[in-house]
């Protein structure tokens, strides 16, 4: 028996459909016996896993691990399970072990790491463990026996950014084409637990229709997962899956958690046409310069098919910083303002993320981007603004080099990673970045608090007319005068009603 474990993915334990494990389960169906367990759905995941291992005699535990809450849960649980079940083989996969596999394999309770998009590699690993063949002959599979050799290859320096990407991706498995993979085995999870109200609709579920992104932004962990590749299900298959979710679970909205749903205009247009009759609300992530190339006809199709909101990586209010980020394409602040106007004209809400505090001059970077956000709000007040602090990605270009020059180093053990400082770092909220200290960090947080009060997010369904007027009224003088320091009245109101910071849908 194989148990696939999804650690709690957020502090509130909001259930989010474990699509990474459904993708693994899809290739195990009919070949190996397995069970999916979601830590978001149980008060005591350790007890539930321990009981399941004893009852089923499970010998393999697969764990998907993102940095942040999932890592914080996976470390103590795997440590405890290994002590209770020494013969249990524990396999980690996902973003964190792909980026930081040498650290994962220092831990005695992690037997194997599978890097990258690992559906087929994981199945091959299970086959190897069952038949006694060599697991380390499988691309992407690493263990304690290979860590010294692999670590030496992955950290070779000095190298230019493109060479580093090739180095860190060396030995990773081929990305499985999502159009060639079987459908998710929804019968393996209690889907009703994952249906929730959102800005898009009352009954919302997610789907993942493509892998990767063709761009190389050096603050993005996806680059080290796919190396600039983008592979997608056809528009017909995505529309068919959407239709099945409507018929089977009566959803009225769908979120696409693809790293970049909108890469191919013809695919987007065809999908929009195919779901027009479903009257759904939907959401996805896109590049600004990609969407600006779309025709007005495609924009109308997207709007009329139910696209309510689109997530866009604006990232900075400085063209110079965008260049240092390796945004590529035709990314620019001018394009960001153009997309704000275009979404406004079509009645689609843009969610825009910004990465602030970038080295080498974080103060100038923060002030430029705050000024730009104010301009952006003048163009389209409905724009949702999501602010993050810059956090380095291993071996990822100029910004990483500048971060190291400021004294930045990643933790060397999993136990260090799950400390409070690094938990905040993983969620891009760290207070301990050597180039981003008080009072600048506090200034940014104060601005964010005023901004979120003056422009309450549409993603918080609890905020109705009265509360919105209260928030805006209290924040108006600060926002208009640009006085953000010490917003004590807004902090007090936050304690009273916990008004929500804008967030990417579902995360």
Which domains, and CATH codes, for the chain? 2-169 (3.40.50.2300), 438-507 (no CATH)
> Which tops the pLDDT comparison, 325 or 154?
325
Q: What is the pLDDT of residue 154?
A: 44
pLDDT band at residue 49 under the 50/70/90 scheme: very high
Radius of gyration from C-alpha coordinates of the chain: 23
- Of the candidates 25, 75, 72, 81, the residue with the CA atom closest to the CA atom of residue 51: 81
> Which tops the pLDDT comparison, 473 or 222?
473
Q: What pLDDT digit, counting tens, does each position of 455-500 carry?
A: 988 887 776 667 788 888 999 999 999 999 999 999 888 777 776 6
Q: What pLDDT digit, counting tens, does each position of 356-374 carry?
A: 888 888 899 999 999 999 9
Whole-angstrom distance, CA of residue 111 vs CA of residue 105: 7
403 pLDDT exceeds 80? no
> Which tops the pLDDT comparison, 462 or 313?
313
293 pLDDT exceeds 50? yes
Q: Compute the CA torsion angle 73, 76, 78, 84 (nearest 10 deg).
A: -140
End-to-end CA distance of the chain: 30
Q: What pLDDT digit, counting tens, does each position of 18-35 carry?
A: 999 999 999 999 999 999
Q: What pLDDT digit, counting tens, does each position of 158-175 carry?
A: 444 455 455 556 677 888
Q: What is the pLDDT of residue 150?
A: 52
SS3 237: helix
Q: Which helix (H) or strand (E) segment is 30 a member of? A: none
Q: Which of 7-16, 135-144, 158-167 has the highest mean pLDDT?
A: 135-144
> Which tops the pLDDT comparison, 205 or 458?
205
């Amino acid at each position: 028996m194989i148990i696939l474990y999804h650690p709690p993915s957020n502090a509130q334990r909001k259930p989010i459909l474990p699509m990474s494990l459904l993708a693994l389960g899809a290739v195990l169906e009919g070949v190996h016996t397995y069970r999916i367990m979601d830590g978001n759905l149980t008060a005591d995941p350790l007890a539930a896993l321990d009981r399941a291992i004893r009852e089923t005699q499970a010998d393999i535990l697969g764990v998907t691990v993102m940095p942040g809450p999932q890592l914080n849960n996976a470390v103590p649980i795997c440590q405890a399970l290994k002590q209770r079940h020494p013969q249990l083989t524990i396999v980690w996969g996902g973003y964190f072990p792909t980026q930081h596999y040498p650290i994962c394999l220092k831990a005695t309770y992690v037997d194997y790491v599978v890097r990258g998009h690992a559906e087929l590699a994981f199945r091959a690993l299970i086959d190897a463990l069952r038949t006694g063949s060599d697991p380390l002959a499988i691309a992407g599979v690493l263990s304690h026996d290979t860590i010294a050799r692999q670590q030496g290859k992955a950290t070779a320096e000095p190298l230019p950014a493109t060479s580093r990407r090739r180095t860190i991706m060396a030995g990773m498995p081929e990305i499985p084409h999502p159009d060639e993979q079987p459908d998710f085995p929804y019968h393996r999870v209690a889907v009703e637990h994952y249906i929730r109200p959102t800005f898009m609709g009352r009954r919302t579920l997610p789907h993942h229709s493509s892998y990767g992104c063709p761009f190389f932004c050096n603050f993005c962990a996806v680059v080290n997962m796919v190396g600039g590749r983008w592979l997608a299900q056809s528009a017909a298959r995505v529309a068919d899956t959407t239709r099945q979710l409507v018929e089977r679970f009566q959803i009225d909205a769908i979120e696409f958690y693809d790293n970049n749903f909108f890469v191919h205009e013809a695919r987007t247009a065809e999908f929009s046409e195919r779901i027009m009759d479903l009257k759904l609300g939907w959401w996805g992530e896109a590049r600004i310069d990609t969407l600006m190339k779309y025709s007005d006809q495609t924009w109308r199709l997207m709007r009329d098919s139910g696209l309510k909101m689109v997530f866009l990586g604006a990232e900075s209010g400085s063209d110079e910083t965008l260049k240092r980020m390796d945004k590529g394409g035709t990314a620019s602040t001018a394009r960001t303002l153009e997309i704000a106007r275009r979404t406004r004209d079509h009645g689609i809400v843009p969610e825009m993320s910004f990465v602030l505090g970038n080295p080498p001059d974080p103060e100038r970077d923060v002030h430029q981007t705050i000024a730009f956000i104010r301009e952006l709000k003048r163009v389209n007040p409905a724009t949702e603004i999501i602010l993050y602090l810059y956090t380095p990605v291993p071996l990822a270009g100029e910004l990483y080099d500048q971060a190291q020059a400021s004294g930045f180093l990643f933790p060397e053990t999993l136990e260090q990673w799950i400390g409070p400082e690094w938990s905040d770092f993983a969620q891009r909220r760290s207070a301990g970045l050597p180039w981003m200290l008080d009072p600048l960090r506090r200034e940014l947080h104060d601005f964010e608090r005023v901004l979120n009060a003056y422009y309450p997010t549409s993603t918080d369904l609890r905020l109705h007319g009265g509360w919105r007027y209260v928030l805006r009224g209290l924040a108006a003088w600060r926002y208009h005068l640009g006085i953000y320091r010490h917003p004590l009245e807004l902090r007090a109101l936050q304690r009273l009603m916990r008004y929500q910071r804008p967030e990417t849908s579902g995360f």
